[in-house]
Structures are given as structure tokens and as C-alpha cells.
Structure 1
Amino acid sequence: MNRTLYTALFYLGLPLVAIRLWLRSRKAPAYAKRIGERFSYGMPSLQPGGIWVHAVSVGESIAAAPMIRALLQRYPQLPITVTCMTPTGSERIHALFGDEPRIQHCYLPYDVPCAAARFLDRAQPKLAVIMETELWPNHIHQCAKRGIPVALANGRLSERSARGYGRFSKLTAPMLAEMSFFAVQTEAEAQRFRDLGARPETVEVTGSIKFDLTIDPQLLQRANALRGQWQALERPVWIAASTHEGEDAVVLDAHRRLLTNYPNALLILVPRHPERFNSVFELCQREGFATVRRSTGANVEAHTSVLLGDTMGELLFLYALADSAFVGGSLVPNGGHNL
């Protein structure tokens, strides 16, 4: 499949994309908003001529933060346009950079030539930086047509994903050849990009950018102070974070067993997707756990058994509150999450 066939199929699939947005908006109403941006219409005013960074969702936005801050320092005269694809990613970008006047944000339009062209005509970036593996053939081709170099940052490519890309070599190889630089995490991934068509001189192993994340030295102090406010300094506290549907019941069952030996144990339960906050809270109540929602700001009392982490941008702080942690995604066929 070449890019022409890919584009035709994408256009034909747009009604399905619309249906998917509608279905997702039933659980997460934010998906029904800013739809025009997904086609390069109704976009916010963008100052042209800067650097464009694409981070598909929350995890990539957090990983990109040190790089974006470094770009702000190194190029003080340039605006930086940060795009994503999800409402949660958008919220995270606003939380990270909402006070920075040189950061401008919008959704990345879908990968059809007309939408990609309109976006680039508005942003006119001098450089495009894509986080991890969010590669869109038409966006990359439109950049190449305009002479805009495209770099992949924190690149990763599993063996399984490489096989998937390899099945569409007529689409993948020209796309990778049009890119200017690949900063990838490991040599194995570097070789996979080369095998798929990336020019060898453009591929470099740089390690994972996630290790460049700087943690606020006050974080543990604030967490300790809050536990003191809860009179929970001596309570065993554990967190189950980024859980998916089907995992919460298992976690709560484990917590019930834990309470047999540690009756004062506290569980911090953090669903990965905001649209599940209400249903998980109802599950905790049905299972008979005294539950406090973090979003209410209410104190955790001695009888509280579960704290539901239903806020955005606080996960690092919630981890700091806990003595031990379980990272979700591995109790269902999802593949787990990067620790």
C-alpha cells in the first residue's frame, strides 16, 4: 500500500472516525469539543515560524516536557506549537505550560493532505519534532514538500510494531526516508528503523528522554505533610495507578485481602482514563469500601479505605503519597505501562 492508497482509505474511513468520536464523547464529553481543530478549522491563532512538537497524549506530553523547556531556553525568540490527539493530553499540556506565553497548543489534524497542509500553512514551523512513534505519512510528506525537517524524539519501535510497519513497506519506507533525524532509545530499535527504510546517517541512539524528567524536591515533603494531615503517617499506603477496565475489581479484591492483616491499609486507586472515574467510584461503593474522591478535596479519615485519584496532573504526587505501587495495564490484555 502506497501513500495514495493510504490517503484514499483514510478519506473513506472518515465517517467511521466521526462515529468513534461520538462514541467516545458519550463517556468523555471533551471528545465532542474542538472537532474543527481535527480538520484544521477553527484553530486558535498561531504565531508562525517556530518549532512544532507533537505528543499524542498524556505520557508523551510528560516525556516531552524537559525537551520543550530546553527548547524554550535555547531558542528564546521562537514560539513552540505543541499538538496532541486526546483531551487528556490537551489538559496535561495546559497544566504543564499554561503560563508560558510562547507555548501555543491545538489538536493535530487528521492525516489527510488538505488538513495537514492547512495546519502547516498556519504554523509554518522551522522544525517538526514527533514524540516516540506517532508517525503520520501525509503530515511528514507535507513537511518534506515545504522543506521542514522532521525529527523523531525518544523514538521507540517494538519488534511487533516493526513487523506491522514492514507489511506496508511501500508506505513506510518513503515516509521514513523523508525524515531528517531519529533519536531512538536503543540500538535494537535503531536497527529496526534502518531496516524499514530510514537513512542510516539519520539514526542515532540517545536513550530514553523519560530519564531526563526532573522531580520537584518538595514533592515528598508535600506528600509527607498531607499524610500527616490525614494522620496516616503510620498507615500502610499503596497505589494502583493507570488501571484499565477489568483491573479495578481485581485490585479491590487484593485490597480486601490486605485489610485482613492490615486493617488500616489505604489504597489510592487511579483509573487511567477520566471517563471511568465515576464508574470506578461506584464500584468502590458497591464493594463496600469507604471511598473519598481526591477531586472533592476532602480529608482521608481513619475509616477511609480507598482514595480515588480522579484529578488530572497529580499522578506523580499521588505516587509520592504511597509506600508501594502497582502500575496498571498488565492484568488485562493491554501490554502494561512503562514503569
Structure 2
Amino acid sequence: MQTPLYYRLLMAIAKPLYQLKLSTKKTLPNETAQRFGKSYPAITINKPIIWCHAVSLGETNTAEPILKGLLANNYALWITNTTHTGFERVEQLFEKELANGDVYHSFVPADKQNIVENFLNHVNPIGALFIETELWATTLAILEQRQIASILVNGRLSQKSFDGYQKFAKLSESMMDNISLIIAQDSDSAKRFRQLGATSDKIRIASSLKWSSKANPLMISRANSLSKEWQLDKRTVILSASTHDDEESQVLQALQNLTTKFDNLLWIIVPRHPERFDDVAMLIEKSTGKTAARRSQDQKPSETDSVFLADSMGELGVWYALADMAFVGGSLVNIGGHNPIESAIVGKPIIMGQYTQSCQQVVDKLKNVGALQQVENKAQLQQAIKYWLNNPDKAKQAGRAGQQLAESFQDATNQQLAMILDCLGENEQYRIQNEMRLMDNAPVESKKIIDDFEPN
């Protein structure tokens, strides 16, 4: 199905505005050229390529086990991102594969026909994966025209997003018509995709890939080394992970009240976005009266430091393993909440704010087993931490309950990977059959030319 005319006109108008926006921002080498279909890394390997688009850091982490599974099945990957944090995470996760040509990497092409076609002409993928909710109408239409399988992996559609899509019914219908497969992470999302126009045969339900997080032995080893180096055996470590603007201030206010009642607390703050690291450092200095000790400067917290700024990339697993309990950010402010399973999988009790719509089913499951407390404001955050500080045995019990729950869902990767491989296989059969039908229906003269060029 062709995308509505109004959408194509909108994309044409948006292109120069998008170019102007990029010209005013700090961009990475070749970023602008990649976003507009001008220049891409050369392909040096002769394997079928699967394109995977993961918007940012969270989607990239979610996609990792699936992508590793596809590499193990002898596919090559072309991974695109929208944000710099997602782009940098791919560079970390697939350093070896990028070097040997099994993985290629660029920024996502803008959703305009000639740009998408330039990208696809270069990559020539046999399939395209989109992680969670990132769908683009023109891209899906072109993939369908080229008989390239398009799969929404770990699909999630909240009520808020559904309401937004419904306002553009024709556009949503075109996307649902053009996509090959939707792997929904829950029945509510599956129902909403169906209401937008996806036929039942295109929808599958599988456990969320967020459950596929596994304890990383390297991260645990680093955490153990830091614990000894920093002499943390007599300190209680509280992690604030993936925090956003206004969350750090609430966390620091809660800390001020708690440090007067509890000795030897160390609060590790990990802001979600690197561009905010310096601002958070200033906020810590203003709150504590001391210059913040920073991971990026290879510093360590002294015995009198109550706050440490973990302003590094790729070490979140270390901080979860090092902590005694964790507050997961993006939840005290209306972001939607980040993945709490990274904390659960290493057996740490969890606190989140009221805004958890991006991971609500995961949050509900962890709450039901007592692994997660949900709070509405900084006062309740302080009370939740205080409860576990006063009841360390219950905190450990909560951590174990979350860990056991996470381990019970570890088959999520295999479930979704099997669905992806089935879809790719069925699409390849369909494409071959369609090509054979076209050859059979071709004029006699065309058949003669085809026969002449067949190999002996």
C-alpha cells in the first residue's frame, strides 16, 4: 500500500528543515551524508545482510541478543541508529564484528523515497528489523515493493502511542499493511496493532527481550575489583541509573535527608545522556559542597564522599553489580522508565517512579514478586530507600525474587529469533516463487533471452 500523499508532502517539506537542524548541531563524521543517503561504508563480505534499526541506547541494548543470534546463523548485519548514544553503543558491542566485516554501521536514512532507495541499493538487505516502536511509512512501503521482509521486533504500543497513531488512520493502515511481521511483547500491544489495521496472521506474541538481559561476568569482575579498591565492604551503595533532568536533584535531596540518619552511604549517579555529565557534576557540587568525584577522570570516592558521578559509557552493568539497591531513572519524570531487568538479573532490589509506561508489564511482574517498589515523588523515594536500609534481609530477599523472575523468562531471545528466521525463510520462498511466476508469464522473446543467459 502506498503511503498517503499528505505524508509524502510532509517529508518533502521536512527534509530541508532537517538538514538545517543538523547543520546547527555537533555531528559525527559522515553523519549528515548517511542520514541523506549520500555515503556509506563499503561492504567487504559475501553474506546475506539483515538491516536492523535501533533508535537509541535502550533499543540497541534490547536488540543485542537477537543480533548476536543472527550473526551466529551466518548473517551479516547493517545496524542503524538515530541518536549518538545508540551509535556509540553499537561501536562498543560489536567492535570485533565491525572490524572483520560481519557488522556495518551508519545513521538511519531519512524517510524520503530517494534517500531510502539509495540506502537500500547500497546495503541490499534480505530483511529489515525495527526495534520496539520505530516505524517509518515510506521505508516500509519501499521494503514491501522490493519484497524485503520487514519485522517489528519486541513490538510495544502503549495506549498513548496508539491514540497518536489513530489520529492518522490512513498512514497507520499503510504501515500495518506493508509490514511483514509484528512480534508483540504483550497481548495489549498485539490488540492495539490489530486495531490499527495489522491482520492477525502478521502478529505474534513473545516474551519481551528486556528479560533477556544476562549477568555479564566481566562487569561483575570489574565491580568486585572496584569494591575492594574503594573499600566498600562497610558502605551501602545506592545506584541512580539512567537519570534525566530533574531526577538528580530529587535524588540528591533524598540523599541529604538520609545521610543524617545512616552512616557510610555512597550514592552513585549515572545520567542517561553524556551531554548532561558536566551539568550533573555542578549539581552535585552545589548539593554537597564538594567537587564531584568522576569516573571519566579516573577518580574514586573518598571515605567522606557521599556521591560519585559515574560519567562513563558502557559500564552500567558494573554499577548495578556494585550496588546494594537501585533506583531506575526516567520514571520520576515523564519519560516512561528504563529497563529495570538489568538490576533484577544481578539480584538487586529496585525502586522506580510513577512514570513506567514504557516498561509497565515488566514493572508489574517485578512488583508482584516484591522485587520493586514504585514511588510518586522524592519523599516516597526517600521512604522506600529507608525501608530497605532498615531491613537489609528483606532487601536481599527482594533482590533474589527479582533475579529468579528474570531467569524464568530467559527464553525470550530464542522465541523471537525463531519467529524472525521463520519470517525470513518464508519471505525468501515467496520472492523466489514470485520471480518464477514473472518468468513464466514473460513474453516468448524475453524467455529466449533469459534461457540464453542461463549457466551451463
**Equivalence for 1:205:** 205
**Equivalence for 1:134:** 134
**Equivalence for 2:316:** 315
**Equivalence for 1:299:** 300
Q: How does 1:48-87 map to 2 (within 5 A)?
A: 49-74=48-73, 76=74, 78-87=75-84
The AA in structure 1 aligned to 2:317 is L
User: 2 CA distance for matches of 1:218 and 1:89?
Assistant: 21
Q: Greater CA deviation, 43-52 or 195-204?
A: 43-52
Deviation of 1:79 after TM superposition, in Å, equals 1.7
Change (3 A) 1:134 1:97: same
Query: 1:156-182: per-residue Cα shift (whole Å, max 9, x none)?
Result: 101111111111111111211111111
**Equivalence for 1:9:** 10
1:283 aligns with 2:270: no
Aligned residues: 333
Change (3 A) 1:294 1:110: same
User: 2 CA distance for matches of 1:240 and 1:69?
Assistant: 29
Query: 1:51-97: per-residue Cα shift (whole Å, max 9, x none)?
Result: 111111111111111001110111x2x32101111111010001000
**Equivalence for 1:234:** 234
Change (3 A) 1:33 1:148: closer
TM-score, scaled relative to structure 1: 0.93
**Equivalence for 2:115:** 115
**Equivalence for 2:106:** 106
Contact map agreement 1:289 1:305 (CA 8 A) in 2 = no
User: Secondary structure at the residue paired with 2:128?
Assistant: strand
Alpha-carbon RMSD: 1.9
Q: Greater CA deviation, 44-53 or 105-114?
A: 44-53
Q: How does 1:160-175 map to 2 (within 5 A)?
A: 160-175=160-175
Deviation of 1:195 after TM superposition, in Å, equals 1.2
Q: Greater CA deviation, 297-306 or 190-199?
A: 297-306
User: Secondary structure at the residue paired with 2:267?
Assistant: strand
User: 1 CA distance for matches of 2:321 and 2:27?
Assistant: 29
Change (3 A) 1:242 1:20: farther
Q: Percent same amino acid among aligned pairs?
A: 38
User: Secondary structure at the residue paired with 2:260?
Assistant: helix
User: Secondary structure at the residue paired with 2:303?
Assistant: coil
Contact map agreement 2:50 2:125 (CA 8 A) in 1 = yes
User: 2 CA distance for matches of 1:213 and 1:266?
Assistant: 26
1:270 aligns with 2:270: yes
User: 1 CA distance for matches of 2:29 and 2:221?
Assistant: 39
Equivalent of 1:42 in 32, 39, 43: 39
Contact map agreement 2:56 2:83 (CA 8 A) in 1 = yes
The AA in structure 2 aligned to 1:294 is R
**Equivalence for 1:125:** 125
Deviation of 1:20 after TM superposition, in Å, equals 4.0
Deviation of 1:22 after TM superposition, in Å, equals 5.2
User: Secondary structure at the residue paired with 1:69?
Assistant: helix
Contact map agreement 1:22 1:31 (CA 8 A) in 2 = no
**Equivalence for 1:327:** 328
Contact map agreement 2:40 2:106 (CA 8 A) in 1 = yes
Q: Greater CA deviation, 8-17 or 244-253?
A: 8-17
The AA in structure 2 aligned to 1:87 is H
User: 1 CA distance for matches of 2:120 and 2:310?
Assistant: 38
Equivalent of 2:88 in 88, 91, 94: 91
User: Secondary structure at the residue paired with 2:78?
Assistant: strand
User: 1 CA distance for matches of 2:64 and 2:339?
Assistant: 17
The AA in structure 2 aligned to 1:81 is W
User: 2 CA distance for matches of 1:326 and 1:248?
Assistant: 11
Deviation of 1:4 after TM superposition, in Å, equals 2.1
Contact map agreement 1:291 1:305 (CA 8 A) in 2 = no
User: 1 CA distance for matches of 2:14 and 2:219?
Assistant: 46
The AA in structure 1 aligned to 2:4 is R
Query: 1:176-208: per-residue Cα shift (whole Å, max 9, x none)?
Result: 111111111111111111111112101010110
Query: 1:131-167: per-residue Cα shift (whole Å, max 9, x none)?
Result: 1110001111111111101011101101111111111
User: Secondary structure at the residue paired with 1:99?
Assistant: helix
The AA in structure 2 aligned to 1:64 is A
User: 1 CA distance for matches of 2:28 and 2:306?
Assistant: 33
The AA in structure 2 aligned to 1:301 is S
Contact map agreement 2:3 2:138 (CA 8 A) in 1 = no
Deviation of 1:16 after TM superposition, in Å, equals 3.4
Structure 2 residues not aligned, in runs of 5+: 341-456
User: 2 CA distance for matches of 1:334 and 1:50?
Assistant: 34
Change (3 A) 1:22 1:275: farther
Query: 1:95-137: per-residue Cα shift (whole Å, max 9, x none)?
Result: 0001112011101111111111110010000011111110001
